[in-house]
Structure 1
C-alpha cells in the first residue's frame, strides 16, 4: 500500500505522545516506571532505547504474569517498530495490546489502542478502516465522559477528511468542526504536548483551502511559537512544509522558497537524530540477538547433559529437535518470502512515486527560474544604467546558481534510480567553455578573482559527446574554485591528449590558489553532502553535492577525477574524456545565422498557461524578429490552429485540463503540417520517452541557450516537412 508523507507525520505525532494519555498516578513498581520512561523516549524519537527497555519489561511481565504491564509493553513496541519500518511487528504488537486491554477492561487504554490502530491503517492507505477505528475510539471516549481522551480521535477524524478531500469546501468545513473541537480540548489538557502543535499545523492548510488566508497565517505563527518553545522538530518541519505549499498555491514563490529552506534545515536536524536512533535500534537488536544465542547454547548444553543420563532418550530428543527446527525454518522462510514480496511491492511503488515527484518538482522549480534567467538576460541586452546592470547581473547569477543546485539534486536522483544516461550530441567545446565562464562572471567579480582559459587550438571545432553533463561538471568545478578562493586566480586548462580518425581524448584541469584541501580529507570531498570547510571560521555554505555529482557523471562517461592539493596552497582537479569527431567543420556563428535566416518568416504559436512564461518566450522571439502569438490553454490552441496558419507551436507540457501531449494528439487529428516543439521544464527522460508517441518534432528544456533554441525550431520544421512530403 502507498504511504503518504502526511500519514507518516500524523503517525509520528499521534503514536508518540501517548504518555499524556497514561493515568496521572505513577506506579511504584520499577517495571511500570521503566515502561513510562519508554513512552517518554518514544515521544522524543528515541526508538532504539524505547525498544530495548520495552523488550526487557515484556520479558518481566511474562515471568510475573502481569497482563496490564504486558499490554503497555506491546503498545510501546508497536509504536516504536512502526518508525523503524517494521510494519508487520507494529500491527502485531498493537492488536495484542488492544486485546489485553479489553481483557483487563481498561477503558482508558482501549481508547488509546483503537486510535493507534486507526493511525496504522491510515499509514497503509486504508482510510475506511482507519476512520472506523477512530470513530470507535471517539464513541468510547464520549461514552466514558472523558473529554481528555477525545482529543486524538477528534484530530484524526479531521485529518482523514483533509487527506481525501478533493478541493471541495464541504470536506474542509467538516474537518474544521472536528479540528476546532480537538483544539479547544488540547488547550485545556495538552498544554505542552506535540498534538497541540500538530492541530495548529493542519489548521494552516485547512483555513487556506477555505480561503481564509489571514487565519491560516495566524495558525502558522502559533505553530512556530509552540514548537520552538517545546522543541518538537517534526511538527515544526510540517508547519514550514504546509506554509510553503500555501504560498506556492498563491503564486508567492519567494515566500514558498523561504519556507522550504526552513523546512530543509529542520529536517536535517531530525535526520541527524533519526540516524542516531537507528544506531541505538541496531544496538537493541544486537542485545536481543545475544540473548537468543545464549538461550540456544543453554538448550544445547541441557540436551548434552540429558544424553549422558539416557542415550536413547537423547537420540529421540535430537531427532525431535531436528524435525522441529526444519519445520520452524520452513515456516520462517515462508514468512520471509512473504515479507520480501511485500517489501518489493512497496519499493516499486515508492520508486514510481519518487519518479513522479522529481518530474513534478523539476517542472515547478525550473518554470519560475526560466522567467528569472531569460528576462534578466534579455534586459541586460537593452540600454540600461550601470546600477540596474549590476542588479540584473546579480539576479541572473543567482538564477543560474539555483539552477545548478537544482540540476545537482535531480542528477543525484537519476544516479540513485539508475536512470543516468549518456546523451550524445554535436557541440563546439570552446564555445561551451566560454559560455560557462561568462555565466560565472558576477561570482568572479564578487570574490575579486580572475580567471584564465588556456584552450588547445588543435582540438577539433566540433565534438560528439554529452555536452550537458560536461557543462555541469565544469560549472561545479569552476564554481567550487571560486567559492573557496578570494582575491585570487583560477586557471582552466583544456588540452588535446591524442587524436585518431574517429576519436579525440581531451585533458581538463581546473586549478585555484585558494584554501586548498588537507591530504587526509581529499578522499572525502567526493562523498555526498560532505563539506570540507563547513566548520571554518568563515561560512562556506552549500549542499556538499557538487563534487559528488562531478565524480558520478565522469564515472558514467567512463572517466574519473583526481585532485592535487595542500592546505592554504590551492587545489587542482583534473580528468580526461574521450569524444567522437563530427564531420561538420564547425558550429560557428555562420551556421547559427543560417538557421535563424530559415525561420525568420515563421509565424509561431506559444501555448502556455503561465502568463510570465508567455511574456519571456515572446520577448526571446521578438529579439529574433520572429512573429508570435500566445494562448493560455490546449483547448484555445486547438481552436486557433483551425482558423489561422502557424509554422510551429512551442508547447508547454504541464497544463491543467488538456496537457501538452493531449493537445498535440488532438492537433494531429486534423493538421499534419505544423511542427510541434515541447518547451518544457520537466525532466529530460519523461519528455524523450513521450514526444515520439504523440507525434511531436522535438523539445527545448527551459531555460535554454538561444543558439539551441533556434536550431531546434529549424530542425523540427525540416523534420515535419520530410514527414508530410
Structure 2
C-alpha cells in the first residue's frame, strides 16, 4: 500500500468519526462541540474522492443548521446533498434527506413543499419495500398537520409513528414524538373540553420525561416544561404552572445563547464550507462528460458479454435438456404421489377441524344459554336502576360471546363452501339503519359520529340475502368504529347502474381513524389478521370479521376493496348486483305479515321439556311459566317417551345430546305412536349442516340455544297453530 492510499483511508476514518461525534453532540444539544466536529469533517472531506461521504457530512451539517433554527442555510445545504445522492444513484439515502427537507419547509411554513418532500420519501420507501423505516415520515407529517392547525390529524400520525419507535432504539425521536403529541392533545382539549384528551396528554408527557431525564435530552426537557406548564394552567395549579414556566424561560434563554455562539462559529468557518461547495459544483460540471464515456464503455462491454453468455447458455441447454426430461418424468410421478398423500391429510384435518368446532361450540353454547337465559329472567323481574346497568353489561357480554362463536362457525362454513345465498324480500334502507342503530352505542363510546348517505334514486325493496348483507355491513362499519376515536364514519350507498330489475349498487364505508399501512393491507382480509400487535392490544378483536366479509362477498360475486393511509383513515367499498322488486310484488310481499301473538294463546298449554342440564331445565321452565304455560320436565329420552305415552302434551321441547338415547332417537320412537304431536329441537349443536337429519327424525321445528325469547315463542306459536290447522 502506498503512502497516499494510507492517508486517504485515515482521512475517511477521521471524517466518519467527526460526523458521528457531531451527530451525538447535536442530540445532546452541545452545539459548540457539533460545530467543531463538522468543521473538522468539512476540512478533510474536500480532498477525498467519495461523494457518498460528502453527502453524509452535508446531511449532518443540515441537521445542525436545523437545530440551530438556521432553516434557510439548512435548506441550501440539504438541496446540494440531494443533487449528489441523485447523481450517485444511491436511492436508499434519499428518503431520510427528503424527510429532513420536509421538516425544514414545515418550520419555514412552506407547507406544500414540505408535503411534497414527505410524499417523495414515502414513494422511495415503497420502491425499496422498507415499511419499518417510515416512522420519521409519519412523525414529520404529524408536525406538518399541527403547524397547519389540524391537531386531530397530527395525533393520528403520531400514533401511527410512535409504535415503531417503541420497538426500536431511537429513544430521542420516541421522546420527541411524545412531547409533540402531548402538545397536540392539549390543543384538542382546548377545542372540545374532553377531559380524556387532557389525561392522555399528562400520561404521554410523563412517559417522555422518563426517557428525557435518563438520556439528558436538553432541548426536549425544555419543551416538556412548556407542556407541563400548559397542563398545570388548565388544572388551575398556578404555582406549578409558574414553576414550570420559569424553568422553561430560564433554560430556553441559556439555550438561545448557545444558539448564537454556535451560529457565530459556523459563520466564521464559511470558507471551509465554501471549499466543499466549490468542489461539488466542479463535480457537477464534469459529470456529463464522465457519464458519456462511461456509458459508451458499458454498452460495448455489455454487448460482448451478452453475446458470449448467450452462446454458452445455448450449448449448455442442449446438453442439459435431455437429462432434464428424464428427471422431470420421475419428479412428476413423485409429486403426484405427494399430492395424493397431502390431499388425504388435508381431508382428515378438515374433518377433524369440523368435528372439533361442532363439539367446542356445543360446550360453549350450553353454559352461555344459562347466562343469557338467567339475564333475561332477571331483567323481567323489575330490577333496580343500578342493577339494570349490570344486567345490561351481562347481556352485552353474552351476546358478544355468541357473536364470536357464530363468527368462527360462519368462517368454517364459508371455507368449506357450505353456505348458500338466500333470496327474500327486504327494505335495504331500513336494514342499513338497523345496523347503524345496533352500532350506535359503540360509536358513542368512541365519540365517533355515524353518517348515512342513501341515494334517493335507489329502489325501496330488493330481493336478496339481507342476513348476509347485514353481516357484511356490521363487520365493516364495526371495524371502522373500532379504529376511529373522536372522528366520523361515513356509510354511503350509491346507484351506479340499472339494467331491467338488476341494480348495481356501490357500498362505501369511510373513516378518519388510525389507517392501515400498505404492507398490512395485503394481509388484513386473512383469517385472524389485524393492523399490528400494538393495534390488537389497544383496540381488541379477533381478526375474523374482515375475513368473513371477503368470503361472503366472493359468495355474492363481489369483491372488497380498500384504500388507506396511516394517520388519515381507511375506505372500504364493494359493488353488488341486486334485484329490485316491482310495485305489485312489493304489495304482495307487504300482505305477508307476521301475526301478532296474543298472550292468552299460550295460557294452560301443556309443555314437556326434555333436558338433562338442571340449570337449563330451570331457565326454560321459568320462561314458559311466565307465559302461563304448564311445564313438565324429563331428564332423558326414555323418560320422555313414557311421559308422552301417558300424558296429553300440546308440544315437546327436545334437547339433542343427553345420557342414554339422544333426542333424535327419542323423537323417532315417539313418532311410532304419535305422528301429530309438535316436537321442537331445542339444542346447542350446530344445526345448519344437520337440518335434513332433524326433519327426517320427525322434528317440526328447530330452535338453537341460546335463543331470543321473542323468536322462541314465535316458533312455538307457529308449531301449535300448524297442529290446530291439521286437526
TM bucket by the smaller chain? 0.3 to 0.5
TM-score, L = length of structure 2: 0.48
TM-score, L = length of structure 1: 0.48
